[in-house]
């Protein structure tokens, strides 16, 4: 499968490192955002202040933040409700079905949607299947759920290879040239 969405569009150390104006400049209206180790630790029951600040900044820019998580409603719902955002639990990443349905129901243009997350094999793969731009992040915190720890065994060498091939483009570089 060869398509231009196969690789992450950009890379960042973490989501809070990115200037929200970057998304605006990219013409993004909907930011599909992973939860665990992207916005917060999987252990964080409520959003950290940075998450709330980011959500408020995106609101001001007219960008809708939507949490898309493979985790259970029990974990995702209280967090998303406290943050005041739409959420899709058990999103089934890397499969696109559930998220695709959501995008269609809301009549979003795919070129106005971006997906951001910390895992190549779930988040980035899903974006590639949806044919939307994605941003790959490093882990926000050290701790991972056990399922994610298994995924990391496959993610790590893949990421190393992308880095060696200079296939990870820093978001600032995209920002300068967009
Ligand atoms: Mg994650």
Tracing tokens 């909907």 back to the chain, one arrives at: 30
Distance, CA 38 to ligand 1 centroid (Å)?
5
* pLDDT over 60 (residue 2): no
Distance, CA 72 to ligand 1 centroid (Å)?
13
139 within domain boundaries: yes
Torsion, Cα 59 63 64 67, to 10 degrees, reads: -100
4 within domain boundaries: no
160 within domain boundaries: yes
Contact 24, 114 (CB under 8 A): no
Distance, CA 40 to ligand 1 centroid (Å)?
9
pTM recorded for the entire structure: 0.96
CATH of the domain at 35: 3.40.50.1000
Distance, CA 70 to ligand 1 centroid (Å)?
9
Distance, CA 118 to ligand 1 centroid (Å)?
5
What's the whole-number average pLDDT of the chain?
96
* pLDDT over 90 (residue 139): yes
3 within domain boundaries: no
94 within domain boundaries: yes
Omega cis (within 30) before 94: yes
DSSP 124: I
54 within domain boundaries: yes
Distance, CA 117 to ligand 1 centroid (Å)?
6
2 within domain boundaries: no
Q: What is the pLDDT of residues 28-64, one digit of tens each?
A: 999 999 999 999 999 999 999 999 999 999 999 999 9
Sign of CA dihedral 121, 139, 20, 8: negative
**CA 4/CA 2 separation, integer angstroms:** 7
pLDDT band of residue 167 (cuts 50, 70, 90) is very high
Distance, CA 171 to ligand 1 centroid (Å)?
19
Q: Which residues are bridge partners to 116 per DSSP?
A: 33, 135
**CA 20/CA 14 separation, integer angstroms:** 12
| Domain boundaries, position 113 | 10-172
Whole-number pLDDT of residue 166: 94
What is the number of structural domains in the chain?
1
1 within domain boundaries: no
């Amino acid at each position: 499968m060869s398509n231009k969405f196969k690789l992450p569009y950009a890379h960042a150390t973490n989501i809070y490192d990115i200037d929200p104006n970057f998304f605006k400049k990219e013409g993004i209206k909907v930011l599909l955002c992973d939860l665990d180790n992207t916005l917060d630790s999987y252990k964080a029951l409520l959003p950290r202040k940075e998450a709330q600040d980011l959500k408020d900044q995106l609101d001001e820019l007219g960008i809708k933040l939507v949490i898309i998580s493979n985790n259970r409603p029990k974990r995702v719902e209280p967090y998303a409700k406290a943050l005041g955002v739409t959420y899709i639990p058990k999103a089934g990443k890397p499969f696109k079905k559930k998220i695709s349905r959501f995008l269609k129901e809301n009549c979003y243009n795919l070129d106005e949607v971006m997906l951001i997350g910390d895992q190549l094999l779930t988040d980035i793969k899903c974006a590639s299947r949806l044919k939307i731009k994605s941003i790959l992040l490093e882990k926000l915190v050290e701790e991972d759920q056990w399922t994610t720890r298994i995924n990391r065994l496959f993610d790590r060498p893949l990421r190393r290879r992308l880095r060696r091939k200079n296939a990870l483009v820093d978001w600032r570089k995209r920002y300068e040239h967009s």
